[in-house]
Homo-oligomer: A and B are copies of this chain.
Amino acid sequence: MASLAIVAEGTTCFRPHQFLARENERPEAIFRIEEGWAYRFHLFGDGRRQITALFLPGDYCEPQWGLGQCITQPVVAITPVRTTRIVCQPATAHSAEYHQQLRLALAKTIERQADWLVSLGRRSARERIAQLLCEIYDRLHDSGRAYAQQCAVPLTQQDIADITGLTAVHVNRTLQAMRSAGLVYLQSKWLRIPDMNALRHIACCPEPAPMVAATERPPVSWPEMNEHSGRP
């Protein structure tokens, strides 16, 4: 990742289950996660929960703030979390570099959410879980927190269910099936991925295996997409 935020305003810490932000609050700062995990979620009156974002070390939480917007979905810590507070001020108060970085973080958030939408809308349970674990591994890897196909993942199966739109029971069964297929080992908060490519293939995150050289390829991903959309 790029350089640090310019306008650091001191460190704030949170304990597991503590809120970084509550619904209907007007944020006075955004947080750069230095250490620990957190998530943004929606809770229904009847108990259904959906997690809509995962914040890992290095992420901005929540980058969309910075304008006087009101918070629509709360954020809570999973593990102990250490953050750098960045006070929200009129746009002029920060450096150009800072703005650039924030915009980049916003864009990244949108991209990740779009990927999750694809998962929730069109992938099977197995694919969703594979996809999620790949994403987590990659993100941790980028900040040097994963190596040798392994990393810590402090999520419960219920958490994974609420990310993937499944049931804790079904996550359990799917995870077991994947384990006995030798695809993924996720036990006591520790993840091991024997064959990254195999898992990525199941997640079908990158497009179907390219027939030509992987680097230069026409921007067409389906027959007859010259002028028309994917559905002929």
List the interface of chain A (C-beta within 8 A of B). 17-19, 22-25, 40-50, 52-53, 64-67, 69, 72-74, 76, 91-92, 96, 99-100, 102-104, 106-107, 109-111, 113-114, 116-118, 120-122, 158, 162, 164-165, 204, 207-208, 217, 219, 221-222, 227-231
Contacts and interface: CB of A to CB of B under 8 A. Distances in A.
How many copies of the shown chain assemble into the complex? 2
A122 B48 contact: yes
Nearest to A209: B45
Contact of A96 (B19, B91, B100, B164): B91
Contacts of A158: 231
A82 to B, nearest CB: 18
Contacts of A104: 67, 69
B228 A17 contact: yes
Nearest to A62: B110
A117 B118 contact: no
A116 B122 CA distance: 13
Contact of A44 (B22, B208, B217, B231): B208
Contacts of A219: 22-25, 74
Contacts of A73: 114
A99 to B, nearest CB: 6
Contacts of A121: 50, 120, 162, 164-165
Contacts of A207: 45
| A-B complex: 10 closest residue pairs judged by Cβ atoms | A45-B208, A121-B165, A64-B107, A120-B120, A50-B121, A43-B230, A113-B113, A52-B114, A17-B228, A22-B219
B114 A53 contact: yes
Contact of A17 (B22, B50, B227): B227
A227 B14 CA distance: 11
Contacts of A23: 219, 221
